[in-house]
Amino acid sequence: MKTLVNWFRRGTEFVAAMMMAAMFLTFILQIGIRYSAKLEWLGKTFPFLEPSQYGWTLEFCLALWVWIVFWGAAFVVRERDHVTFDIIYGHVSPKTRRWFAIIGGTAVCAGLLWSVEPTLSKFYILRLKKTATLSHLLGDWVRMRDIYSVYMLFLLVVAARYGWRAISAFRHGADIDQPGHDGAAQQ
Amino acid sequence: MTLEFAACLLTLFFLAGIGLPVAYSILIAAFVYLGVNGQGVGIAGKVLMDGLYQSFILLAVPLFIVAANIMNAGTISERLLQFCVAAVGRFRGGLGHVNIVASLIFSGMSGSAVADAAGIGKIIIGMMTKSGHYTRGYAAAITAASATIGPIIPPSIPMVLYALVSNTSIGFLFLGGIIPGLFMGAVLMVMNTVISTRRNFAVEEPVPLRDLPRHTANAFPALLMPAILLYGIYGGVTTPTEAAAVAAAYALLLAGLFYRALSFRALYGILVESARSSAAVGLVIGGALILNYVVASENIPNIVAQSLVGLDVSPLTFLIGVNVLFLLLGCVLDATTIILVIIPLFLPTCRELGIDLVHFGVVAVVNCMIGLITPPYGILLFVINAVTQIPLREIIGEIWAFLGVLILALACLILFPGIVLWLPRVFGYPG
């Protein structure tokens, strides 16, 4: 079980890293193409360098950015990486902290699950909306709903994570009180 | 205040107060708001996704994070430090000056104060404590104080965020930060000299002047980075966002090919870490976008503007009042949260009172960066504490003098807008 979790974590980290690399390279490509566009013969000799074929770079980066944020928040960001106001959390007794973790975990889990159905129906119309430029790159099937789908994934995974956090706090106490935690809240 | 907005705020403060991540607290609070007033919870996701998907300028954030991580991993920071030691290490309080000058140079390459403190700051704290002339607390405090300059001199992630909420030109904001950043460096160096003389810190063995050219040559490619970035942006070669990609590419080139200090494995680690930080920051940005939607549908910024204009406050009184408020909030809140959530409340008032938004932005960002070192909640103090294990008590004990001069510098920026606006005006800013 533990190795499975480890492999899963590594896999999702790999995806995030590759999206990051792709975004970086796309940007470089975009700058490169802008300057190679000035050399008209280049596009003529090598048709794949024709600048008009690279209209998608900007939107592709935006799509990657959205995916990095929500894929990352779902799988890669650890509890201690979050921007958190933990002055109170760090200073109360372990018993109170445990209740904080239970209440907080339940609130996020319930809140996100509550929004799943309304969000889905809000996104439903986007199944018709084409992206501005990404059809060139990804093919004609791609719609805005596909790009936004990562948000649904995010809602479900984070709800599950926080639900689990509440259960684990209920059984073993808040996570910063558990042994082996390298805690951001130790200050 | 409407019932649904009260419920929203109550949820937000309660959830953030019990230690939930700020982003999730905002998200749930927005759900509560939308649920109670009947608009439907689904709007939150739509607003959030549209906001993130349409803000091209935000793409600079992950790229600057990548660039800073590469520079810290690839010995670029070390080379810069050797150069600074050779250049300013010979004066009293030498390593303190080295610390500040290194931060100034590094700030022209990275856009994040935390990257500055965790990377170059960690190395120099080691050097200062090893020399035996400085206490641990002093080394950590001066590092924290000088790291605040990082996002003032361009490039700058907080200024990108401010540009997003205020619709001001990112190019002029960057230009506006250059002189204030140098000014902050200068006041810190004066304070370092005063303290070093008073406590009689020993002078370090100076690096022979004949070695200076060698150290300069060694660091030269890295020293070129700020120039390349500024030329790229103001020469019209790249947009400020693309400049972030150029910075990352140049850092990669230097660390990987030129200095040969970066393996594929290390690069992979950098990508994972960068994705992690980008996701955490992006989530807060997304949360702020929804909260701003809520605040805007409650018409709060205009109500604030009307009541302040109705009170007949002068622009200066307003600026001072708002800055005191930001400083107080900076003691307990994160800079990203203040810039994205609190500042938009006051932007309409600025417009009504005729305060220049570039001036206001630079002042606000400087203010928020000072907030990074104000106890009890100062991210830079925590970061340094985490990477060096120097107790927070010792760091905080030494931070006050530096905090004092930085606030003095902030006051100068408020009173004399020319310090901020001179350079943008030279480059054609109409304000």
The chain-wide mean pLDDT, for chain B, equals 87
B231 touches chain A (CB under 8 A): no
pLDDT in tens, A137-172: 888 888 888 889 999 999 999 999 999 999 999 998
pLDDT at A37 over 80: no
User: What is the DSSP track for B152-205?
Assistant: TSSS-HHHHHHHHHH---HHHHHHHHHHHHHHHHHHHHHHHHHHHHHHTPPPPP
pLDDT in tens, B128-184: 888 888 888 899 999 999 999 988 988 888 998 999 889 898 889 999 999 999 999
User: What is the DSSP track for B79-132?
Assistant: HHHHHHHHHHTTSTTHHHHHHHHHHHHHHTT-S-HHHHIIIIIHHHHHHHHHHT
In sign, the C-alpha dihedral spanning B109, B113, B114, B119 is positive
Position A184 scores a pLDDT of 37
Between CA A161 and CA A159 the distance in angstroms is 5
Between CA A171 and CA B213 the distance in angstroms is 63
The whole-angstrom distance between B203's CA and the closest CA on chain A is 34
Q: How confident is the model at residue B365 (pLDDT cuts 50, 70, 90)?
A: very high
Q: Which tokens in the block code for residue B280?
A: 């955490």
**Chain B from 132 to 191: CB within 8 A of any A CB:** none
pLDDT at B63 over 90: no
Q: For chain B, percent helix, then strand, then coil, each to nearest 5?
A: 80, 0, 20
Highest mean pLDDT among B91-105, B333-347, B397-411: B397-411
Q: Do the Cβ atoms of A123 and B43 come within 8 Å?
A: no
pLDDT at A82 over 90: no
* β-sheet bridge partners, residue B21: A84
B207 DSSP 8-state letter: P
**Residue A60 — φ and ψ, nearest 5°?**
-60, -45
Q: Do the Cβ atoms of A104 and B19 come within 8 Å?
A: yes
Closest residue of A to B52, CA-based?
A: A66
Q: Do the Cβ atoms of A85 and B283 come within 8 Å?
A: no
Position A183 scores a pLDDT of 41
To test the contact with chain B by mutation, choose from A78, A98, A115 the residue with the greatest count of B C-beta atoms within 10 A, namely A115
Gyration radius (Cα) of chain A, Å: 22
* B274 contact residues in A (CB cutoff 8 A): 20
Count of CB contacts below 8 A, A vs B? Answer: 193
Closest residue of B to A182, CA-based?
A: B386
Segment among A10-14, A81-85, A105-109, A173-177 with least mean pLDDT? A173-177
The whole-angstrom distance between B206's CA and the closest CA on chain A is 38
Q: What is the mean pLDDT of residues B192-205?
A: 85
Q: Do the Cβ atoms of B53 and A63 come within 8 Å?
A: yes
* B28 contact residues in A (CB cutoff 8 A): 107-108, 111-112
Q: Do the Cβ atoms of B31 and A121 come within 8 Å?
A: no
Between CA B5 and CA B293 the distance in angstroms is 12
Closest residue of B to A18, CA-based?
A: B271
How many CB atoms lie under 10 A from the CB of residue B268?
15
